[in-house]
């Protein structure tokens, strides 16, 4: 349970807020590279961290991420022309380079030096791992290296990366990602299947009340859920939470296993882009796997990429096909007969819950139990960092990029073995 005051601290991410200031110390994935496929292509309007921005790839392939509005009369630069190394506003022709400098002002007299006084805000960008990243914090504190996620380090053909728009605050989305006890319910079969689970659920998730442990790491923490398994063993599902908003879904122990993870990037206080990554460290993703994932019934979601969301100042909406406005196409018959929710798709099941909690969870109304350890830990960690920063203490996670080379795990080990030890090898990224 949080006080209303602390809930504000956790959830508000606009410029100048304590959490917004903290999150801007990290490199932020803002777009998929597929959104800016070529030099001089069309610009993209995007809202990130409560700021309306425009992104474009200039003639030389350099990505600019600028204030979304023209300095002249506040026209949105989504409508501008991307040509000859700059974005030219289509209202009166002012033109901006990737640093936001006004480099041409054709509606002013040729002898005027007015343009030299005009500059709009811009953020440094990198293109890596299928995403365009931005750094939105103080320039002198920019981490030189991006977090070294295995999903970003593998070759492009070994990765699927998608995104979807979610109508909720970022923090409750992260909390959904580290909430390990919901999988036996929300993503499971129909009751009374909880007592008598269907074939497709593993023996090990039949224990519906796991116990939880947390281990702090230099990427954030590892949350371990322990369930009883036969033959004097425990089944451990270990979810890394990587500051400030990444998780890796627990699954498997094989060295060449495919893994999936998420990033929840705030659009504003009440919307978030969920990036989903699936990767295989040792081979390309097959066409069949890609097709299955992109159908969107698993962790990836079927979306309408191009429908704009102008109420949010976003040109590529990436809005899920099954969404709040159509009740996620729930099938109540299906819910009576087969599944716990009647909603198709793991992410849509998550969305139906996370969006239902109000755009921002009123955390002072909650009653957290023993399975909510990871959620409590997440709040402590990010709120602690935000408070520290208010007192001048910089966060360390943006500067430990190699610590992010980590995997999730799902392992069955003897009851006498400590989980940190029993999972250490399995949690190392190989790429």
One character per residue 64-83, x = contact with ligand FES (rule: CB under 6 A): ------x-xx-x--------
| Position among 91, 128, 185, 297 found at the interface with ligand FES (CB under 6 A) | 91
- Of the pair 71, 263, the CB lying nearest Fe ion is at 263
The H helix count followed by the E strand count for the chain is: 9, 21
Cis peptide before 244 (omega within 30 of 0): yes
Residue 95 beta carbon to ligand FES: minimum distance, rounded to whole angstroms: 9
**Binding partner of residue 75 among Fe ion, ligand FES, none, CB cut-off 5 to 8 Å per kind:** ligand FES
DSSP letter, residue 106: T
Give the burial string for 282-317 (b: 16+ CB within 10 Å, else e). Answer: eeebeeeeeeebeebeebbbbbbeeeebeebbbbbb
State the residue number with the nearest CB to Fe ion: 350
- Of the pair 105, 229, the CB lying nearest ligand FES is at 105
**Binding partner of residue 54 among Fe ion, ligand FES, none, CB cut-off 5 to 8 Å per kind:** none
**Binding partner of residue 73 among Fe ion, ligand FES, none, CB cut-off 5 to 8 Å per kind:** ligand FES
Residue 55 beta carbon to ligand FES: minimum distance, rounded to whole angstroms: 17
Q: Identify the bridge partners of residue 102 per DSSP, sorted by sequence position.
A: 96
Does the footprint of ligand FES cover residue 94 (CB under 6 A)? Answer: yes
Of 182, 166, 152, the closest CA to residue 317 belongs to 166
**Binding partner of residue 257 among Fe ion, ligand FES, none, CB cut-off 5 to 8 Å per kind:** none
Residue 136 beta carbon to ligand FES: minimum distance, rounded to whole angstroms: 23
Residue 68 beta carbon to ligand FES: minimum distance, rounded to whole angstroms: 12
Write phi, then psi, for 303 (nearest 5 degrees): -130, 160
- Of the pair 85, 417, the CB lying nearest ligand FES is at 85
Distances (CA, A) of 131 to 111, 138, 279: 42, 22, 14
The vertex-372 CA angle with 48 and 147, nearest 5°, equals: 40
Residue 126 beta carbon to Fe ion: minimum distance, rounded to whole angstroms: 30
**Binding partner of residue 89 among Fe ion, ligand FES, none, CB cut-off 5 to 8 Å per kind:** ligand FES
- Read off the tokens for 311: 């109420």
- Read off the tokens for 163: 């995104």
- Of the pair 96, 170, the CB lying nearest Fe ion is at 170
- Binding residues among 341-370 for Fe ion as defined by CB under 5 A: 350
Q: Identify the bridge partners of residue 431 per DSSP, sorted by sequence position.
A: none
- Binding residues among 64-103 for Fe ion as defined by CB under 5 A: none
C-alpha to C-alpha distance for 33 and 152, rounded to whole angstroms: 12
- Of the pair 94, 135, the CB lying nearest ligand FES is at 94
- Of the pair 70, 263, the CB lying nearest ligand FES is at 70
Half-sphere exposure of 14 (CA within 13 A, CB side): 5
**Binding partner of residue 393 among Fe ion, ligand FES, none, CB cut-off 5 to 8 Å per kind:** none
- Of the pair 77, 229, the CB lying nearest ligand FES is at 77
**Crossing angle (nearest 10°) for helices 170-177 and 373-390:** 140
- Of the pair 319, 352, the CB lying nearest Fe ion is at 352
Instruction: Tell how far CA 107 is from the center of its chain.
Output: 42
C-alpha to C-alpha distance for 283 and 279, rounded to whole angstroms: 9
- Of the pair 97, 269, the CB lying nearest ligand FES is at 97
C-alpha to C-alpha distance for 236 and 229, rounded to whole angstroms: 9
Of 51, 14, 341, the closest CA to residue 188 belongs to 341
C-alpha to C-alpha distance for 238 and 180, rounded to whole angstroms: 9
**Binding partner of residue 70 among Fe ion, ligand FES, none, CB cut-off 5 to 8 Å per kind:** ligand FES
**Binding partner of residue 350 among ligand FES, Fe ion, none, CB cut-off 5 to 8 Å per kind:** Fe ion
Residue 71 beta carbon to ligand FES: minimum distance, rounded to whole angstroms: 7
Residue 41 beta carbon to ligand FES: minimum distance, rounded to whole angstroms: 20
- Of the pair 114, 358, the CB lying nearest ligand FES is at 114
Q: Give, for 236, the enclosing helix (H) or strand (E).
A: strand 233-242
Residue 85 beta carbon to ligand FES: minimum distance, rounded to whole angstroms: 17
C-alpha to C-alpha distance for 68 and 285, rounded to whole angstroms: 36
Q: Which residues bind Fe ion (CB under 5 A)?
A: 350
Residues lying near ligand FES in the complex (CB under 6 A) are found at 70, 72-73, 75, 89, 91-94
């Amino acid at each position: 349970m949080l006080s209303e005051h602390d809930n504000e601290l956790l959830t508000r991410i606009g410029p100048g807020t304590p959490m917004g200031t903290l999150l801007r110390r990290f490199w932020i994935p803002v777009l998929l590279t597929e959104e800016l496929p070529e030099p001089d292509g069309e610009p993209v309007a995007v809202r990130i961290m409560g700021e309306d921005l425009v992104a474009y790839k200039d003639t030389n392939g350099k990505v600019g991420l600028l204030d979304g509005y023209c300095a002249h009369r506040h026209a949105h630069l989504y409508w501008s022309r991307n040509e000859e190394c700059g974005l030219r506003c289509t209202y009166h022709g002012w033109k901006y380079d990737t640093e936001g400098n006004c480099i041409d002002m054709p509606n002013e007299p040729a002898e005027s030096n007015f343009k030299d006084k005009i500059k709009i805000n811009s953020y440094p960008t990198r293109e890596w791992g299928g995403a365009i990243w931005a750094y939105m914090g103080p320039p002198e504190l920019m981490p030189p290296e991006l977090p070294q996620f295995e999903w970003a380090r593998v070759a492009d053909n070994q990765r699927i990366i998608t995104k979807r728009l979610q109508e909720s605050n970022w923090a409750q989305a992260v909390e959904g990602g580290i909430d390990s006890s919901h999988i036996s319910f929300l993503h499971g079969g129909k009751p009374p299947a909880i007592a008598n689970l269907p074939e497709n659920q593993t023996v090990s998730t039949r224990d519906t009340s796991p116990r939880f442990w947390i281990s702090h790491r230099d990427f954030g923490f590892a949350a371990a859920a322990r369930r009883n398994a036969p033959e004097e063993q425990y089944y451990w599902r270990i979810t890394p939470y990587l500051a400030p908003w990444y998780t890796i879904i627990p699954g498997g122990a094989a060295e060449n296993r495919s893994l999936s993870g998420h990033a929840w990037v705030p659009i504003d206080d009440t919307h978030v882009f969920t990036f989903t990554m699936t990767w295989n460290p040792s081979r390309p993703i097959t066409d069949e796997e890609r097709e299955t994932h992109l159908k969107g019934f698993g962790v990836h979601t079927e979306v309408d990429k191009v429908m704009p969301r102008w109420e949010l100042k976003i040109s590529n909406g990436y809005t899920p096909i099954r969404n709040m406005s159509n009740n996620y196409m729930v099938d109540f018959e299906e819910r009576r007969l087969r599944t716990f929710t009647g909603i198709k798709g793991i992410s849509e099941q998550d969305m139906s819950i996370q969006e239902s909690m109000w755009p921002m969870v009123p955390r002072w109304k909650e009653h957290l139990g023993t399975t909510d350890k990871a959620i409590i830990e997440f709040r402590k960690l990010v709120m602690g960092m935000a408070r520290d920063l208010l007192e001048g203490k910089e966060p360390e996670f943006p500067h430990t990029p190699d610590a992010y080379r980590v995997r999730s795990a799902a392992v069955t080990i003897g009851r006498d073995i400590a989980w940190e030890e029993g999972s250490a090898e399995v949690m190392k990224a190989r790429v």
